[in-house]
Amino acid sequence: MQTPKPEEAKEEEDRTPLLLSDSQPSSKEVPLWCSARLSLAIWAFFGFFLLYALRVNLSVALVDMIELNTSLNKNITSNVCPEHSSTPVAPRNTTGKSYPWGADMQGWILGSFFYGYIITQVPGGYLARRFGAKLLLGFGILGTAVFTLFTPLAADLGAGFLIAVRVLEGLGEGVTFPAMHAMWSNWAPPLERSKLLSISYAGAQLGTVVSLPLSGVICFYVDWSYVFYIFGTLGVLWFLFWICMVSNTPETHKTISLAEKEYILSSLSQQLSTQKSVPWKAMLKSVPLWAIVVAHFSYNWTFYTLLTLLPTYMKEILRFDVQENGFLSALPYFGCWVCIIVCGQFADYLREKKNMSTVCVRKTFTAIGMIGPAVFLMAAGFIGCNYEVAVVFLTISTTLGGFSTSGYSINHLDIAPSYAGILLGITNTFGTIPGMVGPLVAKALTHSNTIEEWRNVFYIASALNLFGAIFFALFSSGEVQNWALNGYHIHRN
Q: Please give the angle made by the CA atoms of 214, 219 and 224, to the nearest 5 degrees.
A: 110
* Contacting residues for 400 by C-beta, under 8 A, at least 6 apart: 339, 368, 369, 372, 373, 376
Predicted local confidence at residue 9, as pLDDT: 44
Q: pTM for this structure?
A: 0.80
Residues 169-218 have pLDDT tens digits of 999 999 999 999 999 999 999 889 989 999 999 998 899 888 878 888 88
pLDDT at 79 over 60: no
Give the whole-angstrom CA distance, residue 132 versus residue 244. Answer: 15
Percent of the chain whose predicted confidence (pLDDT) is above 90: 48
Q: Domain 36-484's class?
A: mainly alpha
Domain extents in the chain = 36-484
Confidence of residue 20 (pLDDT cuts 50, 70, 90): very low
pLDDT at 447 over 60: yes
Average pLDDT of the chain is 83
Number of residues that this document lists for the chain: 493
Average pLDDT over residues 413-439: 90
Residue 262 gets which letter from DSSP? H
Residues 224-283 have pLDDT tens digits of 999 999 999 999 999 999 999 999 999 999 999 999 999 998 888 776 766 778 899 999
Residues 334-371 have pLDDT tens digits of 899 999 999 999 999 998 888 899 999 999 999 999 99
Predicted local confidence at residue 326, as pLDDT: 60
